[in-house]
Amino acid sequence: MRIAVTVNGEELEAEVWEGESLLYALREHMGLPGSKNACEQGECGSCSVLLDGRLVCACLVLAAQADGHEIATVEGLGSEDAFHPVQEAFATTGAVQCGFCTPGLIVATVDLLARTPEPSDDEIREALSGNLCRCTGYAKIFDAVRMAATS
């Protein structure tokens, strides 16, 4: 089947099969590999995107369900020359080690700060509870979120 979606403000179409995830369609058919594929079970958050402004795991959404909807991925947040403030904060605080979790954490942080510009530590913990990181121990990720909130 053919789907038409708006991704980061750009209208895209793709041929997908009925059981294909949005994550697979983004990565394999739309040239957007920023959302990472780690568990494909909704457990790690590395595939986090915004679907019509709501944070979702792209691995749990069928590409067919996204037909006609708006998607924001990490690729739409900044560029190599001009990082998004959340990306800048993650880089500055050293909240990135292997980097595999980072795109999902950045999308989840952007979502958090849009809803709660000055989050408490508990609100950060709750908002990022669906995003697993095997490397950092989370302390620097908290530093990054706090820095982004004040920038």
In the complex, what is the shortest distance from the CB of residue 107 to ligand FES, in angstroms, rounded to a whole number? 12
Binding of residue 137 to ligand FES (CB under 6 A): no
Helices (runs of H) and strands (runs of E) counted in the chain: 5, 5
Specify the DSSP class assigned to residue 75: G
Q: Applying CB under 6 A, what is the total number of residues that bind ligand FES?
A: 22
Binding of residue 22 to ligand FES (CB under 6 A): no
In the complex, what is the shortest distance from the CB of residue 45 to ligand FES, in angstroms, rounded to a whole number? 5
d(CA 13, CA 24): 14
Binding of residue 62 to ligand FES (CB under 6 A): no
Place of tokens 């594929």: 37
Binding of residue 49 to ligand FES (CB under 6 A): no
Binding of residue 139 to ligand FES (CB under 6 A): no
d(CA 140, CA 34): 21
Residue 57 vs 149, nearer CB to ligand FES: 57
The four Cα atoms 54, 59, 65, 66 give a dihedral, to 10 degrees, of 60
Which positions from 104 to 133 touch ligand FES by CB under 6 A, shown as an x/- string? -----------------------------x
117 burial level (CB within 10 Å; 0-12, 13-18, 19+): exposed
**Interface residue list for ligand FES (CB under 6 A):** 37-40, 42-47, 57, 59, 96-101, 133-136
